[in-house]
Amino acid sequence: MTKRFTAQTGSNNTIKIFNLTTGALHRIITVDGSIITQPVISENDLTVTVQIGDKKMIKLYNVASGSLKRSISL
């Protein structure tokens, strides 16, 4: 059975990932900058848009490890 997750913003720069089956907190990801969109999980990836100074970026994280996979400047 594949684990399913949901995400919600914590503080200004954290994202909480929860296991949908158990409701348990899976991990907390701290992002650089301020979160300006709700995080979205697709398969094993989490995508969120952040603002760092006057720059906006899309950040792509691995849900299982919490590691940053890619940053895209807007």
pLDDT score at 24: 95
Stretch 56-72: mean pLDDT, rounded? 94
For residues 48 and 72, what is the distance between their CA atoms, to the nearest angstrom? 11
Residue with tokens 């995400």: 7
> With contact defined as beta carbons under 8 Å apart, do 42 and 50 qualify?
no
Is the predicted pLDDT of residue 12 greater than 80, yes or no? no
Which structural domains are found in the chain, ordered by start? 5-73 (2.40.10.480)
For residues 60 and 7, what is the distance between their CA atoms, to the nearest angstrom? 13
For residue range 23-40, list pLDDT tens digits in order: 999 999 999 999 999 999
Is the predicted pLDDT of residue 43 greater than 80, yes or no? yes
Helix (H) or strand (E) holding 14: strand 14-19
Q: What is the pTM of this model?
A: 0.87
For residues 20 and 54, what is the distance between their CA atoms, to the nearest angstrom? 35
